[in-house]
Structure 1
Amino acid sequence: MTTAGGAERETHGGATNGSPACAEAEPRAALAAPPTPRRRPQEQWSAQQPWLAQLPPERLVAATLRGLEPEGWTSVHDVHWPGRPLANIDHLVVGSGGVVVVHTESWAGDLSVTEGELRVGEHVRTGQVARAAQAAAAVTALLAPRHRTAVRAVLCLGDRSDPAVPVAGATVVGRAALPGYLRSLPPRLTPAEVSGLAQYLGVRLGGTQPPEMLTTAALLPPSRAARRRAVRAGTDVRPAPTVTHPEADQRPGSRVRSALLRLLVVATTVGAGAAAFAVPVPGF
């Protein structure tokens, strides 16, 4: 409204600014507003960057692993599973801590481990963890014996931050805690070994065809390896027939008697022939 001096003053709820009625109205409005819910760090991150929540977990884990490249880790993604043409390995990362085979999942629910069994919410997930361990075993078979103990299996929860927990021959860890887990691994490989193994595995697992999974049968002679594979398949494999001497199964004493008998027969035949030639023939 306009005062007598001509200056305009704003009104608020029937009272002018600066009046006690206006001063009381503002705190009341603030108290009446609903409180803003607090968000967890990962929820705040998704709220600030909504496009991250729309990415598949595999792409999120791949981006996390690529962020470790300045620290000496080299990663490849979506490569062949040795010996399984229809399966793949989500991620393979090589660094000073070893060769880490990473399988990615996206699960909701509370995570708990009881007597070696992993539960997420109401579901048992131990089988998926064992799958990650099997993939690591297939990669291990491709390496030289001195590097096989450096292979580790990880099941990464792509949209979680759970700390690392060992289960069924592998380690279950949330994506947010994955870099810390890799940094905590004791040094196992030299920089030269890291470079060589990363290049070797990238070529072997990134080709057009998956490599065969090597087993201990590759160290056996061909005949024994074929018999072992046939036994596993449930077929009957008979050894190849061998030709042996008729006297191979005779005892040493029997062999001596047989030799003497042959000599006696030969001597008798020669003596009879000599005697026949010694008899004079009439007319000569």
Structure 2
Amino acid sequence: MQVAGESTSEIVEQYGDRRAVLARVPREWTLLHDVAWPGRPAGTIDHVAIGPTGVFVMTAGSCVAEAVAATDAVSALVPGLRREGFRAVLVGPDHPAPWIEVDGVIHCEPVDLARLLRSCPRVLTSEEVAGVVGVVHVGLERAERARRTAATVEVIAVPPQVAVAGRRRRLRGRRAV
């Protein structure tokens, strides 16, 4: 998601910083980057982190509604897990340090992500983490396949006027026989 006024190089720089910060997260965490957004074939979710303190769905920028929608989409993949196990996180350089929570969305700077993930109270056992990782991974893979299928259908789709012209040519060929 590009924020107005940001250049592509600024976005790449910020994105790289978030990945570097997330690389310092303990091994008990599973991190997914640039995943398909379930229910939005053209959308992607920046990061999903799954660990003992819950499932953190991270989006770049400042759109609270988008962060909530992304979190809802991921939480729908795991219907048995309490909603408290999911947290929406907006990641951006302009958010206050260390972080604040407004309307159920955590606003955090990239440098504070690893600390945020570790500092929240534990809500999942290691067995639950493994189960949630499996279910979320399968759900996101399905969303990715749906996205690829939608992109293929767009490319293959023939404009109506071309399809009609092709049918006319085929019909004319049949009458000549």
Aligned to 2:24: 67
Give the secondary-structure state (helix, strand or coil) at the position aligned to 1:149.
helix
Give the secondary-structure state (helix, strand or coil) at the position aligned to 1:145.
coil
Report the residue type matching 2:37 in the other structure: W
Aligned to 1:91: 47
Shift of 1:158: 5.1
Please give the alpha-carbon distance, in whole angstroms, between the structure 2 residues aligned to 1:65 and 1:146.
24
CA RMSD for the aligned pairs? 2.2
Gaps of 5+ in 2: 1-9, 148-177
Of 160, 185, 188 in structure 1, the residue corresponding to residue 123 of structure 2 is 188
Give the secondary-structure state (helix, strand or coil) at the position aligned to 1:172.
strand
Greater relative CO, 1 or 2 (CA 8 Å, sep 6+): 2
Of 66, 79, 84 in structure 1, the residue corresponding to residue 35 of structure 2 is 79
Q: 1:163 to 1:199 in 2, by over 3 A?
A: same
Please give the alpha-carbon distance, in whole angstroms, between the structure 2 residues aligned to 1:62 and 1:159.
18
Shift of 1:203: 2.5
Q: 1:160 to 1:167 in 2, by over 3 A?
A: closer
Q: How many residues align?
A: 136
Shift of 1:54: 8.8
Of 19, 41, 59 in structure 2, the residue corresponding to residue 103 of structure 1 is 59
Deviations 1:128-175 (A, max 9, x none): 122111110111111123343301100111587722111232110111
Runs ≥4 residues deviating over 6 A? none
Please give the alpha-carbon distance, in whole angstroms, between the structure 1 residues aligned to 2:25 and 2:86.
18
Q: Are the equivalent residues in 1 in contact too, given 2:54–2:86 (CA < 8 A)? A: yes
Specify the structure having the higher radius of gyration (Cα): 1
Aligned to 2:165: none
Aligned to 1:197: 132
Q: Are the equivalent residues in 2 in contact too, given 1:101–1:135 (CA < 8 A)? A: yes
Q: 1:160 to 1:60 in 2, by over 3 A?
A: farther
Deviations 1:26-57 (A, max 9, x none): xxxxxxxxxxxxxxxxxxxxxxxxxxx89432
Q: 1:101 to 1:162 in 2, by over 3 A?
A: same
Question: Equivalent pairs: percent with the same residue?
Answer: 35
Please give the alpha-carbon distance, in whole angstroms, between the structure 2 residues aligned to 1:185 and 1:78.
24
